[in-house]
Amino acid sequence: MKKLLMVLALVSVSFSAMAQDDPTLKYSVATNSFWSNWFIQVGAQWNAWYSAEEHGAGLDRSPLKDFRSNPGAAIAIGKWFTPGLGLRTKLAGIWGKSVRAVNGDGKGFFNKYWVLNEHALFNVSNMLLGYNPDRVWNFIPFAGAGFGRSMTHNRYGMDLSVGLLNEFRLSRKVFLNLELGWNRFETDIDGMDLFLDPANRGWDSHDNNLYAEIGLTFNLGKGTWDKVPDVAAIKALHQAELDDLNNRLSDANAEIDRLNNLIKNHQCPKAVDEIIGAPATVYFYCNKTNSGPSYSRDLVDVRALAKIAADKNTNVLVTGYADSATGNPEHNQWLSDERAKTVAEEVIGMGVNRDKVTTVGKGGVDILSPFELNRRAVVEIR
């Protein structure tokens, strides 16, 4: 298992020499809210300890040797503030090994520990190639600091941390992680300082913890970035629409002026009378002959028509209707007759000679939709 993890980690780093996706156009992104672009990471590690007491001891330095390496686990929570810059808090550890046993047999012993680090993340892929929410692979170096504790030996130590995180997109919400990291502690925390040379300041002057990790990243909430709107293009579009509306308004005003001149210069009273004298309609409530939803307003149109008929002494026809959806045929016939008579009396009261007004009832009909509109009387000049 440990060899497989190491091979996967090395393969992930080798991808840095390959093209990961087609070049994309770089563009600015809008700033998201504080609660956007958070993530959680979980992973399994294989860690190796290089201790301060190794100086001059001639110990094998391979991280694959059993006397210095062990499996571990890690969990982290973080946030991306831009597509290229983020922070995470990472807790790792559980099982480690010191390189020497207390009895000096060289086989090592278990060292339970934990390391808590704050890392600054740099998504080089987004920084160099531009943000792409569908990119398959993101290359993310990181650096940070924190502290650790050996629970076996009850020791604490501050540390500096660097590493490489590779994220492979499985979906918009889930990524596969391959990570290599190095924690360098300021004091000896693995419990084995018997051979420490205080004058030594090289690689093995401090305890060093190296690890390879495989895990998953889960994006929380909104994990993508929106492109900044092209304000100039939006303004140009709005201006074009405004210009088009102004042109239409100018054309409409010109047409109104032309029609007004025609009426003024050519005097078209007949045409005007025909427009004003168009049929007028009065609507009624269900089973009513003298009231309706717009009865008074409808009579305004009837009054204009009645004035023309009175001035020209023309005939007026009032036709009554009922809706066929309600009532029986006999009752609907009566309703249509009464509605026609009601409106005819209104017309006569507006100055039209009674002898010039004729009424007719059409009974129940379904000419108009919805069917309520069939409850009406229509006034026409004949």
**3-state secondary structure labels for all residues of 313-331:** CCCEEEEEEEECCCCCHHH
- For the chain, helix, strand, coil in percent to 5 are 30, 35, 35
pLDDT in tens, the chain (382 residues): 444 445 444 444 444 434 344 444 566 777 888 889 999 999 999 998 888 777 666 677 677 788 888 999 999 999 999 999 999 999 999 988 877 655 554 455 788 999 999 999 999 999 999 899 899 999 999 999 999 998 888 888 999 999 999 999 999 899 999 999 999 998 778 766 544 455 555 566 788 899 999 999 999 988 888 887 666 666 766 776 777 677 777 767 777 777 777 666 655 545 444 445 578 888 999 899 888 877 877 888 888 889 988 988 999 999 999 999 888 999 999 999 999 999 999 999 999 999 999 999 999 999 888 888 889 999 998 8
Backbone angles phi and psi of 95, in degrees to 5: -125, 130
As beta bridge partners, residue 18 has: none
pLDDT at 122: 97
pTM: 0.54
- What CA–CA distances, in Å, run from 122 to 68, 153, 197, 346? 31, 35, 37, 85
Return the closest-CA partner of residue 58 out of 215, 193, 195, 214.
195
How far is CA 359 from each of CA 156, 258, 345, 355, rounded to the nearest angstrom? 107, 41, 10, 11
User: With contact defined as beta carbons under 8 Å apart, do 50 and 210 qualify?
Assistant: yes
Q: Cα angle at 76 between 7 and 135, to 5 degrees?
A: 60
Q: Which residues contact 28 (CB under 8 A, 6 or more apart)?
A: 227, 228
Question: Between helices 295-312 and 269-276, what is the axis angle to 10°?
Answer: 150
Instruction: Write out the H or E segment, with its range, that includes residue 260.
Output: helix 231-266
Distance CA 128, CA 181 (A): 23
- Name the one residue in this structure whose structure tokens are 């998953």: 216
Question: Is the CB of residue 299 less than 8 Å from the CB of residue 339?
Answer: no
Instruction: Give the DSSP per-residue string, 236-253.
Output: HHHHHHHHHHHHHHHHHH
Cβ count near 263 (within 10 Å): 13
pLDDT of the residue at 240: 67
Please state, in angstroms and rounded to a whole number, the distance separating the CA atoms of residues 167 and 142. Answer: 13
Closest CA to 192 of 161, 164, 228, 150: 150
Contact call for residues 229 and 80 (beta carbons, < 8 A): no
